[in-house]
């Protein structure tokens, strides 16, 4: 028994990567990017996280959408300049209505395992970003989901906002232009960069780990790139192909 325990203790720790389904698990029957279905499907395949993109409507309703614009009756509308009543008419490719963040969180409460990775999209006016972050972090806290939600953003304003509003929350920076040392000095939890940035700065993974930060990478879909980011020892892989990444990790 003691021998077995000792052997187990001295086995090298095999570090594995966690998978985050980019915009939920949408490449599957009946799903669509950033739909509530995509969130539930991500939960059903047992991945670490399901990512989602959010904006605030012109009348202050946090909504789920990737692009800065939506097309309605052939017209392009900027999400941040459009009232919710109009945005509500937008249909996703699976027939769902564009969800509000409130509806998304209500569905998320029913998820068993998956974490929600919320991406705050960059707005043209800082005050709108503040309003969005305040409202969403409030909703997350009111539902007791604090430990199940992480945040990501391209905008530095959001990094500061999340730190102010929830000092313990995980917040990762997406824009690829700051070193782990700089991010650490800003109190950011880690980097979440495009894989090409990490291929150009492979040393950033170890540097981040030495500073106690985590490394996430987006959006890795091709088998050879998935292998490469695993070799780099990143902590999380954000992908449109969660089942492929799962399979590759399992077979290594």
Question: In terms of C-beta distances under 8 Å and separation of at least 24 residues, what long-range contacts does 209-214 make, across chains too?
Answer: 209/233, 211/180, 211/181, 211/184, 212/184, 213/180, 213/183, 213/184, 213/188, 213/189, 214/170, 214/172, 214/189, 214/190
Report the distance separating Cα 145 and Cα 250, nearest Å.
30
- CA dihedral for 63, 64, 68, 72, sign (positive or negative): negative
Give the CB-nearest residue to Mg ion. 119
Nearest distance, CB of residue 23 and Mg ion, angstroms: 6
Q: Which stretch binds Mg ion (CB under 5 A): 31-39, 117-125, 203-211, 227-235?
A: 117-125
When the beta carbons of 120 and 204 are compared against Mg ion, the nearer one is: 120
β-strands 75-78, 69-72: how paired? antiparallel
Here the tokens at position 153 are 């953003």
Asked if 150 is part of the footprint of Mg ion (rule: CB under 5 A), the reply reads: no
| 53 or 166: CB nearest Mg ion | 53
How near is the Cβ of 206 to Mg ion at its closest, in Å?
A: 26
**Binding segment (CB under 5 A) for Mg ion, from list 1-9, 72-80, 118-126, 164-172:** 118-126
- The site for Mg ion, by CB under 5 A, has a size of 2
Nearest distance in Å: CB 52, Mg ion: 7
Beta carbon of residue 241, minimum distance to Mg ion (angstroms, whole number): 15
Q: Which is nearer to Mg ion, 119 or 150 (CB)?
A: 119
Residues 128 to 147 in contact with Mg ion, rule: CB under 5 A: none
165-184 positions binding Mg ion, by CB under 5 A: none
Q: Which of 20, 42, 53, 80 binds Mg ion (CB under 5 A)?
A: 53
Residues 245/228, Cβ–Cβ less than 8 Å: no
**Residue linked to tokens 């990501």:** 152
* Greatest pairwise CA separation for the chain in angstroms: 71
Name the segment binding Mg ion (CB under 5 A); options: 9-17, 51-59, 85-93, 195-203. Answer: 51-59
Of 104-112, 114-122, 155-163, 206-214, the window that binds Mg ion (rule: CB under 5 A) is 114-122
Terminal-to-terminal C-alpha distance of the chain: 29
Residue 127 tokens read as 């005050």
- Paired sense of beta strands 214-218 and 190-194, if any: parallel
Q: From the list 43, 80, 96, 119, which residue makes contact with Mg ion (rule: CB under 5 A)?
A: 119
**Binding residues vs Mg ion (CB under 5 A):** 53, 119
């Amino acid at each position: 028994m003691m021998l077995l325990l000792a052997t187990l203790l001295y086995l090298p720790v095999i570090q594995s990567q966690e998978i985050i389904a980019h915009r939920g698990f949408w490449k599957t029957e009946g799903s669509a990017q950033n739909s509530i279905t995509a969130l539930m499907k991500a939960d059903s395949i047992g991945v670490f996280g399901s990512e989602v993109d959010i904006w605030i409507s012109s009348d202050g309703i946090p909504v789920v959408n990737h692009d800065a614009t939506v097309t309605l009756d052939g017209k392009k509308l900027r999400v941040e300049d459009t009232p919710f009543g109009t945005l509500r008419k937008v249909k996703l490719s699976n027939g769902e209505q564009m969800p509000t963040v409130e509806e998304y969180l209500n569905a998320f409460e029913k998820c068993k395992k998956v974490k929600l990775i919320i991406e705050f999209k960059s707005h043209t006016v800082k005050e709108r970003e503040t309003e969005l972050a305040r409202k969403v972090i409030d909703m997350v806290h009111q539902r007791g989901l604090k430990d199940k939600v992480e945040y990501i953003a391209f905008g530095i304003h959001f990094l500061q906002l999340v730190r102010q509003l929830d000092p313990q929350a995980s917040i990762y920076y997406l824009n690829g232009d700051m070193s782990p040392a700089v991010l650490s000095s800003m109190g950011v939890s880690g980097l979440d960069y495009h894989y090409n940035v990490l291929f150009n700065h492979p040393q950033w993974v170890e540097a981040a780990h030495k500073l106690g930060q985590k490394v996430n990478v987006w959006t890795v879909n091709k088998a050879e790139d998935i292998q490469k980011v695993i070799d780099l020892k990143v902590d999380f892989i954000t992908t449109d192909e969660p089942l492929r990444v799962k399979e590759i990790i399992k077979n290594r």
